[in-house]
Amino acid sequence: MDGQLDVNLLKIGTELVLANGLKCAVTEITEDNFTIDANPPLAGASYSAKVSLKAVEDGPSEFEYSPKGTEGKYKVATFALGCFWGGELDYMRQEGIVGTKVGYTQGEAENPEYRQVCSGTTGHTEAIMVTYDPEIVSYEKLVHIAMDRLGENKYLLNQVGNDRGTQYRHGVYYHDDEQKATAEKTVGDFGEDCVTEVKPASKFWDAEEHHQQYLLKGGQSARKGEDETIRCYG
């Protein structure tokens, strides 16, 4: 019908596609209107599973810049990509990522809270720290994921999308000299107009618990290799 919706064809459970490409389902129909649910299918779901502990391995012990880095199987990388919810989920989906958390870095205040950081007065930026297995995924690929996610925002100072302010400045924060060389080369390839900062990793303060894996809690998939569009609002 030339893009028009024939409401007479609607039934409870009918799947629709919104103008922005997101899928939703009809949940209620009355004589005058109908209601849709655009939440991810797993939103609000819970499950139980039986698990057994197979092994325990040491994780990274150093989280700030150290020229030679640290020994061990796993490495740490830190990125600022605007609002940290979507970036964290993107990294959770990548093979070789064994852990993620979001928080605040590159600031002066001790143990900042979300509201303080959002005021732009603490000097921090919202950031994602990932723990990865370099035998599975390279640091160079992780930096490219960050730059791809930024898109044209890499040329905007203190802004990613509609989020503006120093707390949303984007950056790659290297943890050792090997990461430094990779980060400078990769970011530098985007030219002088790219304003993504490349700096040594500094103190990382964990964000409040409800921010951790926020979009996963909202029902979006974090399965490895998942390519479903990430919705940054939950």
Q: How many CA atoms lie within 13 A of 27 on its CB side?
A: 7
Q: Distance between CA atoms of 234 and 210, rounded to whole angstroms?
A: 12
Least confidently predicted of 20-24, 145-149, 191-195: 20-24
Q: In this structure, what token pair is assigned to residue 93?
A: 């989906």
Q: Return the pLDDT at 1.
A: 43
Q: Is 72 left (phi over 0), alpha (psi -120 to 50) or beta?
A: left
Least confidently predicted of 6-10, 95-99, 152-156, 162-166: 6-10
83 is catalytic: yes
Q: What is the pTM of this model?
A: 0.85
Phi and psi at residue 8, to the nearest 5°: -70, -15
Active-site annotation holder among 83, 118, 194, 232: 83
Residues 3-27, mean pLDDT to the nearest whole number: 83
Model confidence pLDDT, tens digit, residues 98-137: 999 999 999 999 999 999 999 999 999 999 999 999 999 9
